[in-house]
Amino acid sequence: MAAIQPHAGLGMAGGVSVSMQSAALLAERLFDCAQDTLFFVKNREARYVAVNRTLVDRCGGRSKSDLLGRTAEELFPEPYGAFYYAQDRAVLDERIEIHDRLQRVPRADGEASWCVSYKFPIVENGDVVGLCGICRHVDPADESINRVARAIDYLQQHYGEAVRIATLAHVAGLGTRRLERLVKRLFDLTPMQLLARTRIEAASRLLAGTGDSVAAVASACGYADQSAFTRQFKALTGVTPLRYRAVRLGRRG
């Protein structure tokens, strides 16, 4: 196993502490044995500081050094890279934990498959110093997961429209009760809560990446009422849309 080598900026604020590096090295050795699971540790800047061999192979790399020191946005093609990086920033900046997130992960050949993802902040002395996570490959033979994946695909493409549970169930080829049970098991959310989260995640990307007004962002994400959008955005993120944009733009500056 290749040791983690320091990269530019890793020794400064937001870098890798000794205890974090030791834990990352141990976990890396364990997950090198897991061929169906992608493993990673990232520092405060969301740059990889530990990865397993499966993730290297998934990205088409020759060695772990091809990934270390890079962000997901630098490593993965669009739209995956920007989406993963936005997740990382939510974990690092807002201490959000990601559990049982069903999402696509691309392969080196350009195709993508479904994985169930987990990400957790790493906290030392009360401060978030990095994050760790895994993406577990979904068995293509698991038909129930693949049916839910079809509904998730539909949600991600049509979140700006009026979406009903019956429509999602039809897309998935499941009854509404069966879909609700599976979504609850995979995401610990109802289908409508999952729709709300999908809309707010899309709104977060638009607020951070465009100059569109809050009203325009609300409309694009399926909200006819800007005040309802603002209430739901704050409920899920802890801040108003305007505050979120100000913080993101301030961080970039």
CATH value at residue 163:
1.10.10.60
CATH value at residue 56:
3.30.450.20
Mean pLDDT (whole number) for 46-68: 93
**pLDDT tens-digit series, residues 61-78:** 999 999 999 999 999 988
Cα(160)–Cα(212) distance, integer angstroms: 15
Residue 149 inside a domain? The answer is yes
Name the domain boundary from 102, 137, 172.
Answer: 137
Q: Which structural domain range is residue 199 located in?
A: 143-252
Cα(100)–Cα(103) distance, integer angstroms: 9
Cα(72)–Cα(80) distance, integer angstroms: 8
Query: Cα–Cα distances in Å, from 163 out to 89, 99, 169, 216?
Result: 28, 24, 11, 19
**pLDDT tens-digit series, residues 149-194:** 889 889 989 999 999 999 999 999 999 999 999 888 877 789 999 8
Residue pair 90/201 in contact (Cβ under 8 Å)? The answer is no
Count structural domains, the chain.
Answer: 2
Cα(172)–Cα(148) distance, integer angstroms: 6
